[in-house]
Amino acid sequence: SGKKLLQLKEGANSILYYSQDPSKNIEIVKPLSLEAHENSDGPKVFYFNVTNGNKANEKLYTNAVQPAISVKFLEPSIVTYAKLINKNTNLAINLGTNDLLELEKQMPVSQNLPDGEYRFELNAKNKNNIFMDTLFVAAIVVDTSKPQLSISPSKDEVIETASTVIRLAFSEESK
């Protein structure tokens, strides 16, 4: 419970305020600008991918050393922050942003990425300057090595029983 202090109109608002010192002297009047919007949800990501991307176990895998990151929003949005962070070294790579309202944003990585896991972080705002509720975060794994598969029994092995167990062993995590 409480009392309504003021009512804001839809869109741009300006509030004038001042302070008073202990001797009751009024200080300089200062303006404060803010925006108010009804139904003020920020942008939402509905599609995310990277060059040659394959999703497995909540991670996006790619063999591209300079992948392009693609993000699609539910409404035209301006990407205000986009960064890739190497999980092992904490090296951060800032990705290009601009002031264009776009439904889809392509962000190429401008340098070769070493194999490893990266944390992708993104923030955006809509046409009303309302930011996403939380950062969009995703795991991207750059893996340029070719996986190996071992099968037993081997291809030249003779099996003399009616039933046998076939075992597949992968050199890397698989889905």
- Residues 126-137 have pLDDT tens digits of 998 889 989 999
**C-alpha closest to that of 48 among 101, 125, 122:** 122
**Cis peptide bond N-terminal to 147, omega within 30:** no
Mean pLDDT for 34-57 is 87
Look at 44 and 166; give whichever has higher pLDDT: 44
Tokens in use for 3?
């009392």
**pLDDT confidence of residue 39:** 67
**Using CA atoms, how far apart are residues 125 and 75, in angstroms rounded to an integer?**
10
Helix (H, G, I), strand (E, B) or coil at 158: coil
- DSSP-derived letter for residue 102 is E
What's at 142, amino acid-wise?
V
In this predicted structure, the answer to whether residue 30 has a pLDDT above a threshold of 70 is yes
Residue 131, C-beta contacts closer than 8 angstroms, at least 6 positions apart: 42, 43, 80, 123, 124, 125
Dihedral of alpha carbons 12, 134, 38, 80, sign = positive
**For residues 82 and 97, is the Cβ–Cβ distance under 8 A?**
yes
Helix (H, G, I), strand (E, B) or coil at 110: coil
